[in-house]
């Protein structure tokens, strides 16, 4: 996008005069601090009741590891997104009994199906600040030593916590090294599938509608958590009994409308909102544009490599899809950050903080640390082109990456498991084997050479001090040498054979390291560079862990001086966001309502996936058989709704609650305009997309009936306005 100076000047002019934000992924413990904001949004409870993880409703909110879920009955019934349970549904599907296509409904608990040995329900029961313990040994150290001291203290705290069986523990870092917390989670390992709608409801619209609004997806599924007869976590067993949670959410039976209060709790993965203005600038001015440019170039390379080779085209279809997806995401994030003027605003915030800090007593050390942190960040920028290209040489290849993985595993296998580099521990070996096998189906020599030729040409064009000597040694330092090296490497390697790759995986580390295969030799040479860069990275990471807290203290102190609370960037810990049901004006003259209806399902229906609504659904819509779940204002059945809640990856399945903490929906996606929200929350464009609990109830009452689960949740069985009596009706 070429922006003329005039268009750039226009930016500021079009900025909205005021933008009231409900921004924030708050730690539950912070909610009393923002009580007035929550009450302003319409919250009717006491924020203190939300701040204790051992009490309802927060103790009802659980992690599935990657997704969020919540208990909705005293019998351990858990609700989450259909897409979060996709693996479990697939695992239990056969060609004859295809739960993906047909959905699943266990008539009784005995009919519930194991979600598989890897499925987890994680109930956070402790969240304890242990900053002093973690930093005790690090204080006074710098760089790598600081990093290692924090790591050692964290590992010790985790080991101590996990000494009690049935728990998974971790140390999490808040505000980039400012605070450390020990998180303890009860690890429930017997998870069973209770109810899932057909895929054509659960992921109606699928990839085509991904990130889109208006949306019409019934993205919900029910699990049940089981524990041993002693009430403690246990592997799947017929003797296990339903887990009795300390709390469960009540499903609302009331209506929703634009402007209503909403809040959401969950485990958002990662955000970057507290990064420095220099990092924002790097992201907007270099990382994202260069990613767009490089992904476009790599797509060109694949195209050249697969021209006139239909077989190679098929082999690289997945990689092309992934490159296109990365390109699209990067472009969307770039457009969003530019539209929100994220860099300019972050600079304004930093300048305001600096001015405030200058007026504080004893601020000299903080100011010095902030300056030092900036230097460390700038030092990483100096090698960003090199790091990007060097990383892609391995990430975008099949055989070279296989060789690199085999060499690294041979190196790491020489250490005790706990000391191995992350990604090369015992538990990672199955994944590595799968990748080594998969390489077979995704490889064509001409394409891999074309991809490397593209990356190597760019590497050769770097300033000499950025070039990696090992890369030049392996691939040559001019175009002719590179061409010859690539021809020779790929002509002579035996790694194109799956058997050979698996033989090396099983071989003695010393034998691997001594391999004379040219690609294995190349990987051994490149590994020297990798190890050197990793050491530099860890030293830098240690320094930033030491220095960033000064920046955060400045930011938090300045905010407090203005009466504003500051939430830490997301880090997969439990967070709460509050706001309201809100429409969106994505573009000039376009307005999106915050509630979609079943009429939209019919409009999108083509009979071809992903728009192949099942006949029972279409028939129920045609009958207008909505009962108590009908929206009184719209006169029809709603499907999804939109809020301004603050979410990111990991919030899938998060319970959306009303002003009194009752479940009104499940979070499952964001809109495309919000793709840049991991860096900047822009209230004009940031929305979250939820499945309406009324649609879930309607599907379970009228379309694919599950009266036993409705009863268990204390919900009306038949669309009557009064809840039916639970328990007995479910026949248990």
Min. distance of Cβ 596 from a second copy in angstroms?
Answer: 5
As a three-state string, the secondary structure of 536-553 is HHHHHHHHHHHHHHHHHH
d(CA 345, CA 352): 11
Min. distance of Cβ 598 from a second copy in angstroms?
Answer: 9
Looking at 266-274, 411-419, 545-553, 611-619, which segment touches a second copy (CB under 8 A)? 611-619
d(CA 78, CA 247): 11
Among 95, 607, 721, 728, which residue sits at the site for a second copy (rule: CB under 8 A)? 607
Looking at 81-89, 265-273, 613-621, 706-714, which segment touches a second copy (CB under 8 A)? 613-621
Encoded tokens for 61 = 């909110």
* Cα–Cα–Cα angle for 663, 668, 674, rounded to 5 degrees: 120
d(CA 422, CA 687): 35
Looking at 318-326, 352-360, 620-628, 657-665, which segment touches a second copy (CB under 8 A)? 620-628
Min. distance of Cβ 600 from a second copy in angstroms?
Answer: 3
Min. distance of Cβ 490 from a second copy in angstroms?
Answer: 24
DSSP for 604-662, written as a single string: H--SSTTS---HHHHHHHHHT--GGGSBTTTTB-EEEEEE-----TT-TTPEEE-TTS-
Looking at 68-76, 200-208, 503-511, 582-590, which segment touches a second copy (CB under 8 A)? 582-590
Q: From the candidates 219, 369, 569, 682, which is the catalytic residue?
A: 219
Nearer to a second copy, 317 or 479 (CB): 317
Among 102, 303, 599, 625, which residue sits at the site for a second copy (rule: CB under 8 A)? 599
Among 133, 605, 662, 684, which residue sits at the site for a second copy (rule: CB under 8 A)? 605
Tell me, residue by residue from 397 to 436, as one string, x for binding to a second copy by CB under 8 A and - for no binding: ----------------------------------------
d(CA 523, CA 403): 6
Closest to 435 measured CA to CA, from 408, 401, 410: 401
User: Residue 214 burial by CB count (10 A; 0-12/13-18/19+): exposed, middle or buried?
Assistant: buried
Looking at 129-137, 183-191, 605-613, 643-651, which segment touches a second copy (CB under 8 A)? 605-613
- Pairing mode of beta strands 179-188, 167-174: antiparallel
Nearer to a second copy, 170 or 593 (CB): 593
Min. distance of Cβ 5 from a second copy in angstroms?
Answer: 8
Among 132, 239, 562, 588, which residue sits at the site for a second copy (rule: CB under 8 A)? 588
Min. distance of Cβ 101 from a second copy in angstroms?
Answer: 15
Nearer to a second copy, 203 or 596 (CB): 596
Active site residue 652: yes
CA distances from 543 to 122, 139, 370 (A): 33, 12, 11
Q: What residues between 441 and 460 interact with a second copy by CB under 8 A?
A: none
d(CA 638, CA 205): 16
Nearer to a second copy, 395 or 589 (CB): 589
Min. distance of Cβ 589 from a second copy in angstroms?
Answer: 4
The reply to whether 275 sits near a second copy by the rule CB under 8 A is: no
The reply to whether 18 sits near a second copy by the rule CB under 8 A is: no
Q: Is 62 helix (H, G, I), strand (E, B) or coil?
A: strand
- Quote the distance between the C-alpha of residue 48 and its chain's center: 28
Nearer to a second copy, 7 or 426 (CB): 7
Among 276, 283, 596, 676, which residue sits at the site for a second copy (rule: CB under 8 A)? 596
Min. distance of Cβ 104 from a second copy in angstroms?
Answer: 22
The reply to whether 606 sits near a second copy by the rule CB under 8 A is: yes
Q: Which residues pair with 640 in a beta bridge?
A: 691
| Residue 427 CB partners (closer than 8 Å, separation 6+) | none
d(CA 79, CA 67): 11
DSSP state of 82: T
Nearer to a second copy, 9 or 479 (CB): 9
The reply to whether 593 sits near a second copy by the rule CB under 8 A is: yes
Among 357, 447, 613, 663, which residue sits at the site for a second copy (rule: CB under 8 A)? 613
Looking at 440-448, 460-468, 511-519, 594-602, which segment touches a second copy (CB under 8 A)? 594-602
Number of other residues whose CB lies within 10 A of the CB of residue 8 = 10
Nearer to a second copy, 13 or 418 (CB): 13
Among 324, 624, 660, 732, which residue sits at the site for a second copy (rule: CB under 8 A)? 624
Among 17, 464, 589, 728, which residue sits at the site for a second copy (rule: CB under 8 A)? 589
- The answer to whether the beta carbons of residues 196 and 223 sit under 8 Å apart is no
CA dihedral over 446, 447, 453, 456, signed as positive or negative:
negative
Among 618, 628, 724, 729, which residue sits at the site for a second copy (rule: CB under 8 A)? 618
DSSP state of 463: -
DSSP for 438-484, written as a single string: HGGGG--HHHHHHHHHHHHHHHHTS-GGGS-HHHHHHH-SSHHHHHH
d(CA 223, CA 188): 12
Encoded tokens for 659 = 């002003």
The reply to whether 597 sits near a second copy by the rule CB under 8 A is: yes
Q: From the candidates 154, 217, 652, 676, which is the catalytic residue?
A: 652
- Pairing mode of beta strands 68-71, 584-587: unpaired
Tell me, residue by residue from 201 to 240, as one string, x for binding to a second copy by CB under 8 A and - for no binding: ------------xx-x------------------------
The reply to whether 304 sits near a second copy by the rule CB under 8 A is: no
DSSP for 115-161, written as a single string: --TT--EEEEEEEEE-HHHHHTTTTT--HHHHHHHHHHHHHHHHHHH
Looking at 126-134, 435-443, 542-550, 616-624, which segment touches a second copy (CB under 8 A)? 616-624
Q: From the candidates 22, 70, 83, 658, which is the catalytic residue?
A: 83
Nearer to a second copy, 506 or 590 (CB): 590
Among 117, 603, 635, 660, which residue sits at the site for a second copy (rule: CB under 8 A)? 603
Min. distance of Cβ 289 from a second copy in angstroms?
Answer: 14
Q: What residues between 472 and 531 interact with a second copy by CB under 8 A?
A: none
Q: What residues between 26 and 65 interact with a second copy by CB under 8 A?
A: none
Rg of the chain's alpha carbons, rounded to an integer? 27
Nearer to a second copy, 45 or 627 (CB): 627
Encoded tokens for 81 = 């997104």
φ, ψ at 429 (rounded to 5°):
-65, -35
Looking at 8-16, 141-149, 225-233, 560-568, which segment touches a second copy (CB under 8 A)? 8-16
Q: Is 531 helix (H, G, I), strand (E, B) or coil?
A: helix
For tokens 């379970």, the residue is 700
The number of residues that bind a second copy (CB under 8 A) is: 40
d(CA 323, CA 100): 28
d(CA 551, CA 548): 5
CA dihedral over 478, 479, 480, 486, signed as positive or negative:
positive
Looking at 249-257, 357-365, 606-614, 644-652, which segment touches a second copy (CB under 8 A)? 606-614
DSSP state of 188: E
The reply to whether 10 sits near a second copy by the rule CB under 8 A is: yes
Nearer to a second copy, 11 or 488 (CB): 11
The reply to whether 7 sits near a second copy by the rule CB under 8 A is: yes
User: Residue 167 burial by CB count (10 A; 0-12/13-18/19+): exposed, middle or buried?
Assistant: middle
Residues taking part in catalysis: 83, 219, 652
**Binding region for a second copy (CB under 8 A):** 1-4, 6-7, 9-10, 13-14, 213-214, 216, 308, 587-597, 599-600, 602-603, 605-608, 613, 615, 618-619, 621-622, 624
């Amino acid at each position: 996008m070429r922006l003329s100076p005039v268009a750039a000047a226009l930016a500021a002019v079009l900025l909205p005069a005021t933008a009231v934000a409900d921004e924030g992924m708050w730690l539950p413990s912070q909610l009393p601090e923002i009580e007035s904001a929550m009450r302003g949004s319409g919250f009717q409870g006491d924020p203190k009741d939300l701040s204790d993880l051992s009490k309802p409703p927060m103790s009802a909110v659980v992690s599935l590891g990657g997704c969020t879920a919540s208990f909705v009955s005293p019998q351990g019934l858990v609700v989450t997104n259909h897409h979060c349970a996709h693996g479990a549904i697939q695992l239990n599907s056969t060609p004859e009994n295809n739960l993906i296509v047909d959905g699943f409904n266990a008539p009784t608990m005995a009919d519930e199906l194991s979600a598989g040995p890897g499925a987890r329900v994680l109930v956070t029961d402790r969240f304890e600040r242990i900053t002093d313990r973690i930093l005790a040994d690090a204080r006074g150290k710098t760089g790598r030593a600081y990093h290692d001291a924090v790591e050692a203290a964290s590992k010790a705290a985790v080991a101590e916590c996990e000494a009690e069986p049935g728990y998974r523990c971790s140390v999490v870092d808040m505000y980039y090294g400012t605070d450390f917390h020990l998180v303890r989670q009860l690890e429930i390992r017997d998870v069973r599938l209770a109810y899932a709608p057909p895929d054509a409801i659960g992921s109606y619209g699928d990839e085509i509608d991904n990130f889109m609004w208006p949306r019409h997806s019934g993205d919900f599924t029910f699990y049940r958590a089981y524990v041993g007869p002693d009430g403690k976590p246990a592997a799947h067993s017929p003797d296990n009994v339903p887990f009795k949670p300390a709390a469960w959410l009540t499903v609302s039976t009331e209506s929703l409308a634009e402007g209503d209060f909403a809040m959401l709790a969950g485990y958002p993965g990662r955000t970057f909102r507290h990064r420095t203005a220099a990092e924002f600038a790097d992201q907007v001015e270099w990382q994202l544009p260069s990613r767009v440019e490089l992904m476009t170039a790599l797509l060109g390379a694949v195209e050249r490599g697969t021209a006139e080779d239909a077989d190679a085209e098929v082999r690289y279809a997945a990689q092309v899809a992934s490159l296109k997806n990365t390109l699209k995401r990067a472009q969307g994030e770039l457009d969003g950050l530019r539209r929100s003027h994220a860099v300019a605003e972050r600079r304004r915030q930093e300048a305001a903080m600096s001015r405030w800090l200058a007026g504080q007593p004893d601020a000299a050390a903080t100011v010095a640390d902030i300056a030092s942190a900036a230097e460390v960040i700038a030092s990483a920028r100096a090698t960003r082109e090199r790091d990007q290209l060097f990383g892609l040489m391995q990430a975008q290849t099949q055989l070279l990456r296989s060789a690199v993985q085999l060499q690294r595993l041979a190196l790491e296998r020489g250490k005790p498991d706990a000391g191995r580099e992350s990604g090369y521990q015992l538990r990672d070996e199955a994944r590595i084997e799968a990748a080594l096998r998969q390489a077979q189906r995704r490889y064509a020599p001409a394409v891999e050479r074309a991809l490397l030729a593209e990356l190597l040409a760019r590497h050769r064009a770097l300033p000499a001090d950025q070039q990696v000597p090992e890369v030049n040694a392996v691939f040559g330092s001019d175009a002719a040498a590179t061409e010859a090296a690539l021809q020779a490497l790929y002509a002579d390697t035996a790694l194109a054979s799956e058997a050979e790759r698996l033989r090396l995986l099983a071989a003695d580390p010393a034998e691997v390291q001594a391999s004379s295969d040219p690609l294995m030799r190349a990987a051994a040479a490149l590994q020297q560079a990798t190890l050197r860069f990793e050491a530099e990275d860890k030293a830098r990471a240690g320094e930033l862990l030491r220095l960033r807290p000064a920046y955060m203290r400045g930011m938090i102190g300045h905010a407090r001086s203005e009466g504003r609370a500051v939430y830490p960037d997301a880090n997969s810990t439990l967070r709460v966001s509050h706001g309201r049901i809100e429409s969106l004006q994505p573009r000039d003259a376009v307005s999106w309502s915050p509630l979609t209806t079943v009429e939209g399902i019919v409009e999108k229906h083509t009979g071809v996936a992903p728009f192949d609504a099942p006949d029972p659904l279409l028939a129920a819509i045609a009958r207008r058989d909505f009962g108590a779940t009908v929206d009184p204002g719209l006169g029809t059945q709603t499907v999804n709704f939109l809020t301004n809640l603050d979410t990111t990856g990991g919030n899938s399945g998060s319970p959306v609650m009303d002003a009194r903490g009752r479940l009104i929906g499940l979070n499952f996606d964001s809109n495309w305009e919000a793709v840049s929200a991991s860096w900047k929350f822009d209230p004009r464009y940031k929305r979250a997309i939820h499945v309406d609990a009324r649609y879930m109830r309607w599907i379970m009452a009228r379309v694919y009936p599950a009266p036993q689960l409705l009863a268990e949740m204390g919900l009306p069985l038949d669309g009557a306005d009064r809840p039916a009596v639970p328990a007995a009706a479910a026949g248990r």
